[in-house]
Amino acid sequence: MVSIYLKNRLKSLTFIFCLLPFFLIGSGVNIFLNSPDDSGPKNPKQKNKIRIVVDAGHGGHDPGAVGKQSKEKDLTLAMALQLEKMIGKNHPEVEVLLTRENDVFIPLFRRIQFANEEKADLFISIHCNFISSPSTRGTETFVMGLHRAEENLAVAKRENASILLEHNYKENYDGYDPNSIEGHIMMSMFQNAYLEKSISFAALVENSFAKMKVSKSRGVKQAGFAVLRRASMPAVLVEAGFLSNEDEEAFLLSEEGQSKVCNAMLEAVTDFISQKQEENRTVVESKTAGTNADISENNAGKYRVQIAAMKTVKADMDSSELRKIGQLHVVEGKDINKYMVGDFMTMDEAQTAKEKLKKMGYTGAFLVVLP
């Protein structure tokens, strides 16, 4: 009797174990593919949409900067989730992807790799700053590049220290050592092919911070950040404030503070979306005007150079320097006002004007073909 009972129990257990993998798959449990240390998040892909990846810095066993009352990883996640909702509400035509939605550790290289795989149009990594001086305050937005100040190097060192928590970090980062000066010089040499547009978006972010009085804007800066390395889209790292400053930490901990930071980033994103949509329209016009995406000058109308797109009309945008290049045109829209320069009859003239405008500081300038 006992022998028969044990045989039956064994058969039952074998049957259950055979069905277990199917149960796990059917119930949505993924015990291998969703390992935060190795793979990063997986998100469904939607076609024909502008894609923005929002990255909450640090996470899991990597707390980031630690203030008296808070940890960087918690604040960045709260702001990333809020920014995702804000963009979704104000721009339903845009797809927002998050690198993490909870308190998990994701290697730095996987964050930007994920953005590249998803063919994102913009990458925003949200962070909080920390420094030995408790009186230092303000926002900074970084792009990939060679650090020109020791304080920029210090920020990059602190943020890149997360690499040491990763498995096989030397293989993943080509032998990079975040503890060596040579390593940071090597990292900073990974120039982003989209540096110009990264700087342009970073300027939009810092302008919004200053305009909305989030804090003192410390400007757009360059340094070698591992999370921005090998980005195939405009990519920035936003330092929303200093946790080493008690007042700024309290501000970033508050709902009002987080909302203010996210609203400022939303305004910058709105300007970026407008510029991106205009670029897409220009590409379509270019393709229909000629063959192989070349514009036929016989069929094309006038050319202009767009230098900005903003919600508000800026009366002080016009200047004598701009007028030397061409007349400023303000095309007012329902949500966005576009600022364009010139009425050029040839593409060569427009290209020359665009390069001059970029040297004047309008780094995001691009050609617009009028019908």
Residue 274 · residue 93 · CB < 8 Å: no
pLDDT at 169 over 70: no
270: nearest Cα among 239, 210, 311: 311
For residue 357, is it within any domain?
Answer: yes
Q: What's the mean pLDDT when you consider all of the chain?
A: 75
For residue 27, is it within any domain?
Answer: no
How far is 57 from 171, CA to CA, in rounded Å?
Answer: 22
Kindly compute the dihedral angle of the four CA atoms of residues 34, 35, 39, 43, in this order, to the nearest 10 degrees: 20
Proportion of the chain above pLDDT 90, given as a percent? 37
Domain boundary among 240, 272, 304: 272
- Looking at the structure, do residues 237 and 299 belong to the same domain, yes or no? no
- Answer whether 0.85 is exceeded by the pTM: no
Residue 311 · residue 336 · CB < 8 Å: yes
Q: Residue 351: which domain range?
A: 290-369
- Looking at the structure, do residues 77 and 136 belong to the same domain, yes or no? yes
pLDDT of residue 161: 59
- Domain with 317 in it: what CATH number? 3.30.70.1070
Q: pLDDT by residue (tens digit) across 190-241?
A: 454 577 788 889 989 998 999 899 999 999 888 778 788 778 889 999 999 9
Specify the range with the lowest mean pLDDT, choosing from 19-33, 45-59, 158-172, 239-253: 19-33
Q: Which helix (H) or strand (E) segment is 54 a member of? A: strand 50-56
Could you give the maximum distance between any two Cα atoms of the chain, in Å? 102
Q: pLDDT by residue (tens digit) across 112-142?
A: 889 989 999 999 999 999 999 999 999 999 9
Q: Give the start-end residues of each E strand in 89-213.
A: 94-98, 122-129, 139-144
Confidence of residue 371 (pLDDT cuts 50, 70, 90): low
Which residue has better confidence, 111 or 145?
111
Residue 347 CB neighbours (<10 A): 16
For residue 7, is it within any domain?
Answer: no
- Looking at the structure, do residues 207 and 316 belong to the same domain, yes or no? no
- Domain with 136 in it: what CATH number? 3.40.630.40
Across residues 98-121, what is the average pLDDT?
Answer: 92
Q: pLDDT by residue (tens digit) across 294-343?
A: 333 333 446 888 887 776 666 556 667 778 888 888 877 766 677 888 88
Specify the range with the lowest mean pLDDT, choosing from 41-55, 100-114, 266-280: 41-55
How far is 116 from 118, CA to CA, in rounded Å?
Answer: 5
